[in-house]
Amino acid sequence: MKLKKRIPVIDQGDKQGFWGGKFGGNFVPETLKKPIEDLEILFNKLKKDKKFINERDKYFKNWVGSPTRFIKLENLTKHVGGAQIWSKVVSDANGGAHKIYNATVHCLLAKRSGKKVICGDTGAGYAGKMLSMAAKKFGLKCKIFMGAKDIRRQQPNVRAMKKNGAEVIPVYSGSQTLVDAVSECMRYWVANCDKVAMCVGSTVGPAVFVRICGWSTSQISRELKTQLVDEFGSVPKKLKLYNCVGGGSSSFGFWNEFMDYDKKQCEFIGVEAGGPTKSKKHAAPLTYGSKIGILHGAAQYVNQNTDGQIEETESISAGLDYPGISPLHCFLKDTKRARYTAASDEEALNAYKLVTKFEKLRPSLEPSHAFSVAIAESKRFSKDTIVVVNSCGDAYKDRGIIEKRLGKKYV
Amino acid sequence: MSNPISHAFKKAKSENRPALLTYTVAGDSTKKQSLEILKSISKKVDILEIGVPHNTPVADGSQIQTSSYRAIKNGVKINDIFKIVKDFKKFDKNKPVILMGYYNMIFQYGENEFLRKCKISGVNGLIVVDLPWPENKKFASKCKNRSIFFIQLLSPTTTKNRLKKIIKDSHEMIYFISMLSTTGGKLKVSSKEILSNYDKIKKVNSKKNVVIGFGITEKTIKSLKKADGLVVGSAICREITNSIKKRQNPVTNVYNVVNRLKKKIK
């Protein structure tokens, strides 16, 4: 299995949508074959269309608020005493997280295809919140599927979705989290694909959704590359990019522009959710060696039992609480372009404490996982190493959990 | 040796009626009870579809999901399902059995091993919901080599061109999804429209046995009588759920539903 240079990773899949011959694909019911093919044709055309790209960039700039900040975490760097720690504050984006990029592009595509309704899944509630914002902006009706457990633990985002006029549909099946929300959303699309567009909230699902999402979030690394050159004159010789990985949309977008660099120069580190220290459950299929299976239309490493039933996950962060992982990350793992590890709930909370103690930055529990590993590893790096952590979401949505686990003063 | 599925269609045709196919989930509500249900309905049914329950089903509505989750919770594993089929075949060896499920279960078991077990236990056909054409070509031909029918699915969204290619690659039985819906949805299109789509399929190749499924209940079954076969699934799963709720016997209640369905298409 080999990563090709000068070809975007999203376009390195084969005709049937498999990366490296085995990740991704389209394991979908017959009913969805046509709508997926239609979407593929539309996306392949538009991603080469200058007018469309201009339109996208216009919304990214004027509405999403691009570029998001790239800042040095001076105090944290001093405290850790190793590499320079920087952050790409993607949570500056309109709505407070990277999910806005994918949501915006999906709404633009839905408009072009003449659909009036868009449906989507959400875990932490950010994908849903952003889709509801974008749908409102572009005059589309919006339906969001969300696990009942996630609805309980991510209330601020649920309120935001409703305020934007979206219908939030609770999903009570299975573990009542993201995995079930995605299933239910796909089922809804199966039954309504003639009139409704679907937005998959991450770089997961049938191949075209993986590609659209990766294409959209790559805005993050486009900005970062410019910012690095502005700051250092060129892309640093020792650059390490840390990002949490749930479905994998923010990390893929954070890395994409640096794909062709040698990994000795630009290293990618993906941090999965290891779950509570005392629990055997986790949401880290790459770190803990899960087997390849099919989930939500795509072949990927996924937590499952020997019979092929998908296993329940456990994580403090709803946004990482997913048993599978993007086919793109499976591909990056097996080609050894990226390195994957996990942080536990407790480690993420400690990192959150540390970051908020030293900096004016409030990363949500998802990027706190990435901060945990970045801080631990930075200690042993030289001072000319540039560590960048994608702070891809804001902790506002987590205030309930943080108050419960760390006390009021951290909210 | 021809496949018992072909015999079942021939027999129904000779009686001038569509074949009746039922779908029940293996292990619902228990391993023992699902076998009892199969045994009790088998004399009224032409082909038995047995669902392999999966916990992230992307095409099933709430009724079948409820049955599937119940079966998984009660501990049913793939090997138990093969055993159910085997035990059933001891009881009625000529009744065709089709397993219906999602690809990950087959993938984890190993395609060849799965088919070997199908053969030993007496499975005659397979429906894999999320392995569409052309991705299923290789697996379908493996099935054919072992005289197991791989049943292709067609939907109202299937384009004309695609329809022809799928039919060409299909074995003797084809499953037509009546409408855009998950299983068990309310029939939201007229039976006239469904049958007109059905005719389009038959026109491409009249020799294939085409069954219609999704949205078929005691209320709607009569209007689709002219099809080669009709599948009832969610209505039966619902009956099991209701029987459990009312503390009645699912075996007799399901039998009664199937009996009424059969009468309506005679």
Residue of B nearest to A291 (CA): B108
Give the tokens for residue A380.
């042993």
Measured between CB atoms, does A29 come within 8 Å of chain B? yes
Cβ separation of B58 and A192 shorter than 8 Å? no
Question: What whole-number distance in Å separates Cα of residue A27 and Cα of residue B133?
Answer: 10
Residue B184's pLDDT is what? 87
Cβ separation of B130 and A174 shorter than 8 Å? no
Residue A190's pLDDT is what? 92
Question: What whole-number distance in Å separates Cα of residue A132 and Cα of residue B69?
Answer: 31
- Name which of B56, B133, B162 is nearest A179 (Cβ-Cβ): B56
CB of A354 within 8 A of CB of A285? no
Cβ separation of B180 and A25 shorter than 8 Å? no
C-alpha distances in Å from residue A20, one per residue of A293, A329, B51, B76: 15, 11, 32, 34
Specify which residues A390 forms β-bridges with.
A88
Cβ separation of A309 and B55 shorter than 8 Å? yes
CB contact set of A323 (below 8 Å; sequence gap of 6+)? A179, A283, A285, A290, A295, A302, A303, A304, A310, A311, A312, A313
Cβ separation of A26 and B132 shorter than 8 Å? yes
Residue A173's pLDDT is what? 86
Q: What is the mean pLDDT of residues A230-236?
A: 98
Residue A394's pLDDT band, with cuts at 50, 70 and 90, is: very high
Percent with pLDDT over 70 in chain B? 100
- Please determine, for residue B81, whether its predicted confidence score (pLDDT) is greater than 60: yes
Cβ separation of B56 and A291 shorter than 8 Å? no
CB of B218 within 8 A of CB of B234? no
Cβ separation of A29 and B102 shorter than 8 Å? no
Angle between helices A126-137 and A99-112 in degrees, nearest 10? 40
Measured between CB atoms, does A298 come within 8 Å of chain B? no
Measured between CB atoms, does A27 come within 8 Å of chain B? yes
Chain A from 89 to 148: CB within 8 A of any B CB: none
Does the pTM of the predicted model rise above 0.90?
A: yes
Residue A234's pLDDT is what? 98
Cβ separation of A293 and B129 shorter than 8 Å? no
Closest CA–CA distance from residue B183 to any residue of chain A (Å):
9
Closest CA–CA distance from residue A169 to any residue of chain B (Å):
14
Q: How far apart are the first and last CA of chain A?
A: 46
Q: What region does B21 belong to: left with phi over 0, alpha with psi -120 to 50, or beta? A: beta
Average pLDDT, chain A: 97
- Please determine, for residue B45, whether its predicted confidence score (pLDDT) is greater than 60: yes
Closest CA–CA distance from residue A179 to any residue of chain B (Å):
8
- Please determine, for residue B185, whether its predicted confidence score (pLDDT) is greater than 90: no
Residue B186's pLDDT band, with cuts at 50, 70 and 90, is: confident
Percent with pLDDT over 70 in chain A? 100
Residue of B nearest to A292 (CA): B108
- Name which of B55, B106, B130 is nearest A29 (Cβ-Cβ): B130
Measured between CB atoms, does B96 come within 8 Å of chain A? no
Residues of chain B in contact with residue A295, where contact means CB-CB under 8 angstroms, are: 56, 104
Q: What is the mean pLDDT of residues A212-228?
A: 98
Average pLDDT, chain B: 96
Cβ separation of B181 and A191 shorter than 8 Å? yes
- Please determine, for residue B1, whether its predicted confidence score (pLDDT) is greater than 80: no
Which of B58, B109, B167, B175 is the best substitution to test chain A (most A C-beta atoms within 10 A)? B58
Measured between CB atoms, does B105 come within 8 Å of chain A? yes
Cβ separation of B108 and A296 shorter than 8 Å? no
Measured between CB atoms, does B185 come within 8 Å of chain A? yes
Q: How far apart are the first and last CA of chain B?
A: 29
Which active-site residues of B does the annotation give? 49, 60
Give the tokens for residue B224.
């689709």
Closest CA–CA distance from residue B258 to any residue of chain A (Å):
26
How large is the greatest C-alpha to C-alpha distance in chain B, in angstroms? 50
- Name which of B78, B130, B132 is nearest A294 (Cβ-Cβ): B130
